[in-house]
Chain A
Amino acid sequence: MKNFFDVIIIGAGAVGCAVARELSRYKLDIAVMEKESDVAAGTSGRNSAVVHAGFNNKTGSLMAKLCVEGNLGFEKICKELDVPYKKTGKLVVAFDESDIKGIERLMDAGKKNGTPGLSFIDADAVKKLEPYVGGIGAMLSSNTAITNPFIYTVALAENACANGVKFYFDNEVRGISRKDGKFRVSAGGEYYYSRYIINAAGLYSDKVSALAGDEGYKIYPCRGQYYILDKRTSKFLNMPVYPVPRPGIGGLGVHLTPTIEGNILIGPSAEYIKTKSDYSVTQDVMKQLFSEAKELLPPISMRDVIRNYSGIRSKLVGPKVGGFGDFVIEESQVVPDLIQLIGIESPGLTSSIPISKKVRDIIGNKENLVEKSDFIGERKGVLEFRQLSTEEKDRLIRECPEYGEIVCRCEQITKREIMDAIENPLGVRTLAGIKYRARAMMGRCQGGYCLTRIVEILTKEYGIPVKEITLRGKESKLFTGKVK
């Protein structure tokens, strides 16, 4: 029956989509309700893209356990789902004796958490790995990796979709009640029914929980601002480099992280904010971020900046209390069959698959889950033309001339890739959707060259009216109409 499901997942971030994919292995009717116009619209699309090794999490916590588990399984899932992944390793660098003590603490915690691949290296070894970073020594975490969080989330969603999961975008959940023994979810002007609800609503998971009748949670939004540096700086950094955490001492403890495409990320900062949707970047924080980053990596300059952005953490502890808040991954104590995934901040991305397995276990303990025999385990994304050899490029163009037309000049993205991104299985038609799937508009000219061309493809080849072209759906319309 239409609108009747076994499971409704609220939130299409990395966790929601991981749950969708995991549950799509079984004979269940599943729907994902997402209030924005695409997956990864919240924190999942606004982070450092690091697959953490698990040494920086409180021993004994769910965060630590699932992070280590997620880290060890991440390469495999990326292979299955055609997601970029690079095991770069990571350095936590010491600049004085108290930093060395800090490293000892991290190594100890890492050992207790079961993180493999941690070692102390001296200044010479640091210089060999990262010639532009100073320091008197560092902890090397060999298991830390980087990935592409948009493509990761898109891949999970597309694979879930291929296995029968229905995605509803622009479908904010406004009410949750019970009717005839089922959940009745009100979203987008319709009712949807399900036996289970998975609350993966990220920043709004407290709100969704309250809608369902469990008012026990409050999310405190904590924003982190970032810089993105031009790819020409990629020669200065090989792996994520973090200074040793110095609790109580001022400064942002700025991180430097290479991205899988060769940019460098500076950040994030950490400031509690009032509004959950306030993704602004602010003058004072940006200034401090850059000056601390330049101390860590001297050859960079403001000329290398191509963009800023911010992400917001779903914290369960507020600014006054401070301290640690673990993942909440459990069936609600107040509302049966509501499975709560609350307070999923870092290492949420790394932990997404283990979280999804825990959800499966919670349901599996209540009923018999039957595996599908025709589960499609692999997914292929948009072909990355720029990664091919000269011969392969030539051959591909002759097969398909649309690969011979460059649309995004900075990142060498071809027309065929743009079209594949537009023709995505989830039916997302926003500019940001194309950006995340094909990488277009993410280069140094920030769409200066390709925006007009992408708009032309959308209007001429896909018949999308000019007035309906948006960045992220809804009211984010770029144009008022035609000139004449």
Chain B
Amino acid sequence: MIIDRNVVIIGAGPAGLAAAVELSKSGVDGVVVLEREPYEGGILNQCIHDGFGVIKFNEVLTGPEYARRYIDEANKLGIEIKKNSTVISMSKDKEITVLSPEGLLVYKTKAVILAMGCRERTRGALSIPGARPVGVFTAGVAQNLVNIKNIMIGKQVVILGSGDIGLIMARRLTLEGVKVIAVVEKMPYSNGLARNVTQCLEDYGIPLMLSHTVVNIEGKERLKSVTIAKVDDNGEPIPRTNKKIECDTLILSVGLIPENELSSGAGVELDELTQGAIVDENLQTSIEGVFACGNVLHVHDLVDHVSSEAEKAARSVITYLNNSYKDHDNILVKAGDGIRYVIPHTISGKKDVTFSMRVDRQWSNIKLCFKNGSNLIKSFNYKRLSPSEMVVVNLKGTDLKDIDGLEVSIDEV
């Protein structure tokens, strides 16, 4: 069965919902949101801790509460959200095949907003050596089991990776009576938000072992212990620093990967570094009429930025539906010294642009510089920048006038 729509949004998580609400409030009809879960809200549903909405609503909300704001709005606006509907493929002509208990449907649409979010990096992908016991979980799975399925996963836990999910789970498990023995982090600094290190580890006396990693997993049927080792500046284990920690559970918080299987199936060009789509200042991908926002574009730390990015994608869709984008952005945005990646990848130089980026290491007292060749267009001073905190900067079209190239870099003050 083929159904025509103006806009298909894949995912009713925070990105998809914000985009849908923005489209609807602007009077766009023929919008459908496709969600594979039986409920909207995406990953926010299992994020029962608070800290969401500080920027967007000036409030401190839990994940479900933040999601509820958008779900209620969407329901009030009468937005069509199809739940239990899994998109199994997307063609380059924007034909979207969906599986649901009602059957197999194909949507033919003018525009697509990709909002599929992320998946987690696994033990297998890291090739952590050792035995194959049960008791190794990725942090998101552990969070889902504990918070939504009401299932407890272990009694003595080691967490590998000090990203936000790992830190949040350290606190969560501690609050449920589990002994969190240590959080082990390969880098010399934590990968999570500073406030999470304080509120999840320091406040609970959980040791953070920086510059360490897990080099072996032991246990026959259930995990018995892990061996950790100190690592050098290249992340390589230093010989004779091995230490065994007895535990029955290892939680991995070792990275999120944008879930772009559908995108690559359609031929959307992906950035090898972000693993998300290559986009222009309108968040349009290499396929006309296909836009990306939220974690599927690049991994965010704050859902507030996800919502803003999604709203921007929605506004871009409106422009696209009205008259299509005539000019293609042709100014390449380069990630210079100190910058790991910057989005968007190309700009027109004629409009205001929101730049989102991450730095490549911890920096103090620096200038974030936007340059056209050797000309400094604009710079921003920062006391502290960390890879774990995404930097969002707005530049005006007037700032970008007449440039033929753009490089973002860190200059020491």
Contacts and interface: CB of A to CB of B under 8 A. Distances in A.
Contact of B129 (A282, A412, A466, A484): A282
A383 interface: no
B119 A456 contact: no
Contact of A451 (B84, B141, B154, B221): B141
Interface string A276-288: 0111111100100
A286 B129 CA distance: 8
A298 interface: no
A277 B220 contact: yes
Majority-rule SS of A interface residues: mixed
B6 interface: no
B103 A406 contact: no
A405 B215 contact: no
B104 A393 contact: yes
A456 B146 CA distance: 13
Nearest to B272: A303
A401 B101 contact: yes
B103 A397 contact: yes
Interface residues of B, number: 48
B295 to A, nearest CB: 14
A280 B151 contact: no
Contact of A286 (B86, B122, B127): B127
Contacts of B222: 475-477
A36 to B, nearest CB: 11
B91 to A, nearest CB: 12
B103 A475 contact: no
A147 to B, nearest CB: 23
Contacts of A475: 220-222
A279 B131 contact: yes
B395 interface: no
B119 A480 contact: no
Contact of B134 (A278, A282, A470): A470
Given A305-B127, A448-B122, A448-B141, A404 B100 contact: yes
A482 B122 contact: no
Contacts of A452: 141, 144-145, 148-149
Nearest to B130: A280
Contacts of A444: 119, 125
Contact of B101 (A302, A404, A477): A404
Contacts of B1: 394
A333 interface: no
Contact of A390 (B36, B97, B125, B261): B97
B102 interface: yes
Nearest to A469: B151
Contacts of B176: 483
Contacts of A129: none
B124 interface: yes
A208 B215 CA distance: 36
A404 B99 contact: yes
Given A455-B145, A483-B176, A405 B101 contact: yes
B133 interface: yes
Interface in A38-80: none
B104 A281 contact: no
B153 interface: yes
B307 interface: no
A424 to B, nearest CB: 21
Contact of B104 (A280, A390, A482): A390
Interface in B65-86: 84, 86
Contacts of B221: 472, 474-477
B84 to A, nearest CB: 6
Majority-rule SS of B interface residues: mixed
Nearest to B135: A478
Interface in B84-142: 84, 86, 88, 97, 99-104, 106, 119-120, 122-125, 127, 129-135, 138, 140-141
Nearest to A451: B141
Contact of B150 (A302, A406, A478, A482): A482
A96 B124 CA distance: 35
A452 B143 CA distance: 10
B88 A412 contact: yes
B363 to A, nearest CB: 27
Contacts of A281: 127, 129-130
A324 interface: no
Contact of B131 (A280, A449, A483): A280
A478 B134 contact: yes
A483 B150 contact: yes
B104 A406 contact: no
A188 interface: no
B129 A306 contact: no
Given A277-B220, A406-B99, A306 B124 contact: yes
Contacts of A318: none
A471 interface: yes
Given A397-B99, A475-B222, A306 B125 contact: yes
Contacts of A477: 134, 221-222
Nearest to A404: B101
B54 interface: no
A482 B132 contact: no
B88 to A, nearest CB: 6
Contact of A476 (B125, B133, B140): B133
A398 B119 contact: no
A409 interface: yes
Contacts of A393: 99, 104
Interface string B267-288: 0000000000000000000000
B86 A406 contact: yes
B145 A306 contact: no
A231 B22 CA distance: 37
A308 B123 CA distance: 9
A252 B129 CA distance: 18
A248 interface: no
B243 interface: no
A281 B120 CA distance: 22
B378 interface: no
Interface in B357-410: none
Contacts of A479: 145, 151-153
A280 B129 contact: yes
Nearest to A407: B86
Contact of B124 (A305, A402, A466): A305
A476 B134 contact: yes
A279 B217 CA distance: 12
A307 interface: yes
7 nearest interchain CB pairs? A307-B124, A404-B101, A401-B101, A394-B104, A475-B221, A476-B221, A406-B86
21 contacts: A277-B220, A279-B131, A280-B129, A280-B130, A305-B124, A306-B124, A306-B125, A307-B122, A397-B100, A397-B102, A398-B103, A405-B84, A406-B99, A414-B99, A446-B124, A452-B148, A455-B149, A476-B221, A477-B222, A478-B134, A479-B153
